[in-house]
Amino acid sequence: MSDGLNSAGNNPQALEDICVLDLTRVVAGPYGGSILGDFGAKVIKIEVPGKGDDARGYGPYKNGESVYYANLNRNKKGITLNLKSEKGKEIFKKLVAKADVVLENFRPGVMDKLGLGYDVLKEINPGLIYAACSGFGSYGRYSQRPGYDIISQGMGGLMSITGCPGGEPTRSGNAMGDMLGGMNMIMGVLMALHARQRTGKGQRVDVSLVDSVVASLENAYIRYFDSGQIPVRSGNAYASIAPYDTYHARDGFVVIACGNQKLYEKFCRLIGREDMITDERFLTVPLRVQNNLIQKAEIEKWTMDKSVNDIVDIILGAGIPAGPIYDVRNITEDQHIASDREMFIDIEHPVIGHMKVNGNPIKLMDMMPRINYPAPTLGQDNDMVFGDILGMDEDQIRELKQQKVI
């Protein structure tokens, strides 16, 4: 690829030799593409001329530009291309010949109808990794259903076990299905890239949002297969361990997590309740889970007259896991999360100006993720990509704009 797409800085990054064509929109796919970009991949975001990614219409806005979009599409170069036009398809195929990865999250079959499906593209580039993320996957009886995050959380089972006991099914407070789908798509891409080193061939990666949520429920299925009982909403309690819950403090709530018998017994001694070690209702983990509400009331006799900070300090001081419940403000002010772990990065966007974006949770200690450039404005890099990579001159690019190909 052209040096025009090289990452900023002199330190090498893990994926700087990989070129990605990112056709994705909204959350799952763009998030996945940004992960690759954070590690140096040359990600070219391809959008519909005049409109762009649907997420450009999502708030909040600053200076007329979507901050929502800017967070999910950093570290990408942006072009516009009309894939419904014959000229647009021709240009896309030329880019595919030079790329390593294509990402898309259209409904299955859309790319085939455009004449740009995997079977066509692999003839152009046999080493191409073609990754698709959709609501229900590319095969199966639901494959043609439209899919959004809330549908994946509902049909994937997450809403059925989230919320207060006896309450309504509750969506996770974030786009959990989208985030899981995006991460799974990129894991698939990285595995396919590794396989290509051995075989020399690319392949398709097929990820479903619903599958991603289903897999995340882990022990819920084990419990169902074992007992035949359908897991229900249990608030903040965990169905496999207790005490492992939130507890009332004088000024809020605190999390206490006794993940094994040794920690449990240490905790009981710490709060002066050695009797709970030998109480027949609490002798084993399954019994404590069964009688969690009874034990929770006993534990709260100790926590209720203490502050969250005091409880956390006392329990952590004894080597037992505990922590406060943060809101977003608390998280941004916590120096470990915000600064030490660099989970919020300050950048300058050409339109938005100064802004913060989410950091990358993956740390390669010798090749750390970094933000090399902000999200592109619509079609920002048309001249550079079409000129430097495909060798078009100014007149050719101007004609493509006049024909509304770009």
Do residues 341 and 16 touch, judged by C-beta distance below 8 A?
A: no
Distance from C-alpha of 379 to C-alpha of 316, rounded to nearest angstrom: 52
Determine if the pTM surpasses 0.95. no
- Give the mean model confidence (pLDDT) for residues 133-151: 97
Active site residue 366: no
- Give the mean model confidence (pLDDT) for residues 234-256: 96
If pLDDT is split at 50, 70 and 90, which confidence band does 11 have? confident
- Give the mean model confidence (pLDDT) for residues 116-136: 98
- Give the mean model confidence (pLDDT) for residues 157-161: 96
Distance from C-alpha of 279 to C-alpha of 259, rounded to nearest angstrom: 18
Entry field: residues in the chain: 406
Is the pLDDT at 295 greater than 80? The verdict is yes
**pLDDT (tens digit, 9 = 90+) per residue, 38-70?**
999 999 999 999 999 999 999 999 999 999 999
What confidence score (pLDDT) does residue 218 get?
87
Is the pLDDT at 6 greater than 60? The verdict is no
Flag the least confident range among 19-23, 235-239, 321-325.
235-239
What angle is formed at CA 386 by the lines to CA 381 and CA 390, rounded to 5 degrees? 145
- Give the mean model confidence (pLDDT) for residues 3-22: 76
Distance from C-alpha of 276 to C-alpha of 18, rounded to nearest angstrom: 57
Domains and CATH numbers, the chain: 19-217+345-403 (3.40.50.10540), 244-326 (3.30.1540.10)
Distance from the Cα of residue 96 to its chain's centroid: 25
What confidence score (pLDDT) does residue 10 get?
66
Q: Which residue has the tokens 């990509």?
A: 385
Six-digit token string for 68:
């929502």
Q: Which residues pair with 134 in a beta bridge?
A: 208
Q: How many CB atoms lie within 10 A of CB 161?
A: 16
- Give the mean model confidence (pLDDT) for residues 372-394: 96
What end-to-end distance do the CA atoms of the chain give, in Å? 21
Is the pLDDT at 110 greater than 80? The verdict is yes
Distance from C-alpha of 65 to C-alpha of 73, rounded to nearest angstrom: 13
Is the pLDDT at 7 greater than 60? The verdict is no
Distance from the Cα of residue 225 to its chain's centroid: 29
From 178, 211, 245, 381, active-site residue: 178
